[in-house]
Amino acid sequence: MSLIELQGVTKAFGGLRAVRDVTLHVERGEIFSVIGPNGSGKSTLFNLISGVMPTTSGTVRVLGRDTKGMGPHKVAKLGLSRTFQTTQVFAEKTVLENALAGRHLHVRTGLWSAQLRTRFFRAEEARHRARALDILDAVGLADRAAQRAGHVPNALQGRVAIAMALASEPELLLLDEPTGGLMEQEVLGLMDLLRRIRDRGVTIMLIEHKMRLVRQVSDRIAVLNNGGLICDGIPDRVLNDERVVEAYLGTADHAAA
Amino acid sequence: MRQAAPWIIGGAIAVAAPFLVTNGYLFHLLIIAVIWSILATSLNLVLGYTGLLSLAHGAFFGLGAYCSALLVTKAEWNFWATIPPAMAVAAAFGTLLGLLTLRLSGHYFAISTLSFGIVVSLVLEKWDDLTEGPRGISSIPAPTPIDLFGWGTLDFESNTSKYYLALLALALCLLFVWRLVHSPIGRALEAMRQNELLAACLGVNLVFYKLLAFSMSAAMAGLAGVLYSVYITYINPIDAGLWNGFYAVMYIVIGGMGTFLGPVVGTLFLVTLPELLRAFQDYRLLLLGILLILTMTFLPQGIVGGARTLHRRWTGR
Amino acid sequence: MSPFLIQQVANGIMVGSIYALIAMGVAMIYGVMNVPDFALGAKAMLGGYVAFLFTATFQQSYGVALIGSIVVLGLLGIGVERWIFRPLAGAPPINGFISSFGLLLVFENFALLAFGSTYRRILSPFDRQVVHVLGASLTMQRLIVVVVAIATMVGLHLFIRFTAIRAVAQNRRGALLCGIHTERIAGVTMALGSALAGVAGALVGPIAMVYPTMGETLIVKAFVITILGGMGSIVGAIVGGYILGLIEALGAMYVSVDYKDAFAFGLLVLVLTVRPQGLFGKAAR
State residue B138's pLDDT score. Answer: 83
Listed by number, the residues of chain A in 110-149 with a beta carbon closer than 8 Å to a beta carbon of chain B are 110-111, 114-115, 117, 121, 125, 128
User: What pLDDT shows up at residue C284?
Assistant: 42
- Among candidate residues C69, C72, C99, the one with its CA nearest the CA of residue C83: C99
- Residue A196 has φ and ψ, to the nearest 5°, of -65, -40
| A62 CB-near residues (< 8 Å, 6+ apart) | A3, A4, A49, A75, A78, A79, A80, A172
User: What local confidence, expressed as pLDDT, does residue C167 receive?
Assistant: 61
At the topology level, CATH places domain A80-169 in Rossmann fold (3.40.50)
Across the interface, whether the CB atoms of B103 and C98 are under 8 A apart is answered no
Q: Which residue has the higher pLDDT, B163 or B4?
A: B163
Write down the pLDDT at residue B152.
75
How confident is the model at residue A254, as a pLDDT?
Answer: 47
Residues of A in contact with B187 (CB under 8 A): 97, 100-101, 104
What was the pLDDT predicted at C160?
74
**C134 pLDDT higher than 80:** no
Q: What is the 3-state secondary structure (H, E, C) of A71-122?
A: CHHHHHHHCEEECCCCCCCCCCCEHHHHHHHHHHHHCCCCHHHHHHCCHHHH
pLDDT of residue A257: 46
Is residue B1 pLDDT above 50, yes or no?
no
- Least confident window among B15-24, C103-112, C218-227, C251-260: C251-260
**A and C touch per CB criterion (3+ pairs under 8 A):** no
Minimum mean pLDDT range among A153-167, A236-250, B12-26, B112-126:
A236-250
The mean per-residue pLDDT over the stretch C34-59 comes to 90
Q: Virtual CA dihedral for B42, B48, B50, B53, nearest 10 degrees?
A: 80
| Domain A1-79+171-182+203-257 in this protein, CATH class | alpha beta
Span B46-94, pLDDT tens digits: 988 888 889 999 999 999 999 999 999 888 888 899 999 999 999 999 9
Collect the ranges in chain A with pLDDT lower than 50. Answer: 250, 252, 254-257
pLDDT at C176: 62
Residue B62 to residue B117: CA distance in whole angstroms:
10
CATH fold for domain B4-315: ABC transporter involved in vitamin B12 uptake, BtuC (1.10.3470)
Mean pLDDT value across chain C: 83
Higher pLDDT, C278 or A129: A129
- Domain range annotation of chain A: 1-79+171-182+203-257, 80-169
Q: Touching A: which chains, 3+ CB pairs < 8 A? A: B
Looking at the predicted structure, is the pLDDT value of residue B238 above 90? no
Going from N- to C-terminal start, the domains of chain B cover 4-315
Q: Decide if B285 and C93 are in contact by the 8 Å CB cutoff.
A: no
CB C194 within 8 A of CB C40: yes
- HSE (side-chain half, CA atoms, 13 Å) at A24: 23
CB contact under 8 A, A73 and B185: no
Residue C59 pLDDT grade (very low, low, confident, very high; cuts 50, 70, 90) = confident
In this prediction the pTM is 0.87
Residues 6+ apart with CB under 8 A from C34: C93, C96
- Note the pLDDT tens digit of each residue in C159-183: 777 765 666 666 666 666 666 666 7
- The string of pLDDT tens digits covering residues C217-232 is 899 889 888 888 877 7
Chain C residues within an 8 Å CB radius of B288 = 102, 105
Of C102, C231, C261, the CB nearest to B292: C102
DSSP result, B255-272:
H-TT-SSHHHHHHHHHHH
Q: Is the Cβ pair C93, B289 closer than 8 Å?
A: no
Mean pLDDT of the region B218-229:
96
**Is the Cβ pair C99, B297 closer than 8 Å?**
yes
Position C235 scores a pLDDT of 84
* Averaged confidence pLDDT in chain B: 88
Contact of A85 with chain B, judged by CB distance below 8 Å, is answered with no
Torsion sign across C-alpha atoms B64, B67, B70, B73: negative
Of all residues in chain B, what percent carry a pLDDT higher than 70? 97
Mean pLDDT (whole number) for C175-199:
80
Count CB-CB contacts under 10 A for residue B209.
19
Please state the rounded mean pLDDT for residues B185-197.
91
Stretch C46-59: mean pLDDT: 90
Question: Do chains A and B meet with 3 or more Cβ pairs nearer than 8 Å?
Answer: yes
Q: Which residue of A has its CA nearest to B207?
A: A73
ipTM for this model: 0.90
Domains identified in chain C and CATH numbers:
3-274 (1.10.3470)
Cα-trace Rg, chain A: 19
pLDDT at A203: 95
Nearest CB to A73: which of B187, B190, B205? B205
Q: Looking at the predicted structure, is the pLDDT value of residue B196 above 50? A: yes
Nearest to B184 among A73, A92, A107 (CB): A107
Q: What percent of chain C is modeled with pLDDT above 90?
A: 25
Which pLDDT band, with edges at 50, 70 and 90, does B271 fall under? Answer: confident
